[in-house]
Amino acid sequence: MNSLNGEEWVDYSETGRHHRRARKFNRRKFPRDRSFVGKELKISEKIKGEEKRKNEARGKIEKHLKRFSTLDSHEGKKKIKVYIRWVRDSLDQDYPLLDEGDLEVKTAVASVKAGGQKRQKSQTSVRVVHLPTLIRVKNEEERSLEQNTLKAKENLYILLTEHLQLWKILNIASPNQGVEREVKDML
């Protein structure tokens, strides 16, 4: 102990050094997981991202389902049942089902373009409609009807895959009941 002006005082630098040394020893002995806060932030951001993707997927599917509401009530209900069945079967198979009977192929003269006498006048433009989903594709890039038909079907398959991916994002536990409930909630 030291005294200053007749008062006794304690040298706290010694005890402070001791406490720092003890804390350092305890840190080595019992290390804290310093990444805990970072992990929690990552988890919460992941959950927020999943919710955002689900909401975006739900919005796109709702927008797509508005095509069915433009049909008259009886025909619209039939088409929605066919759509629900297609979604369920495609989710079960894990890829979009594409049958020739579900496709409606229409041909037309390519759209009006400049060219005069050199303009192509034969019917090479192709429009393909997938009847269960009412997804449409048009192709008129090639000069051959067969090539345009093949490209239109390829593009349609890509769009159907993207549409099915939206349903997968919704993470429906049971496709048999979940799809119908989701569609009814969206309508």
Q: Which tens digit of pLDDT belongs to each residue from 76-90?
A: 788 888 888 888 888
Is residue 178's pLDDT more than 80? no
Confidence of residue 111 (pLDDT cuts 50, 70, 90): low
The full DSSP string for 11-25 is -HHHHHHHHHHHHHH
Q: CB pairs under 8 A, 24+ apart, for 18-25? A: none
CA 21 to CA 125: how far, in whole Å?
A: 82
pLDDT for 158: 93
Contact of 102 with 85, CB cutoff 8 Å: no
Query: What count of residues does the chain have?
Result: 187
Q: What is the SS3 assignment for 62?
A: helix
Task: For the chain, give the mean pLDDT.
Answer: 76
Q: What's 124's DSSP letter?
A: E
Q: What is the C-alpha to C-alpha distance for residues 41 and 173, in angstroms, rounded to an integer?
A: 27
pLDDT of residue 161: 93
What is the C-alpha separation between 102 and 105, in angstroms, rounded? 10
What pLDDT is stored for residue 114 in this prediction? 61
Mean of pLDDT values over 26-33:
64
| pLDDT band, residue 162 (cuts 50/70/90) | very high
Calculate mean pLDDT across residues 53-74.
82
pLDDT at 116: 59
Report d(CA 79, CA 182) in Å as an integer: 16
pLDDT at 167 over 90: no
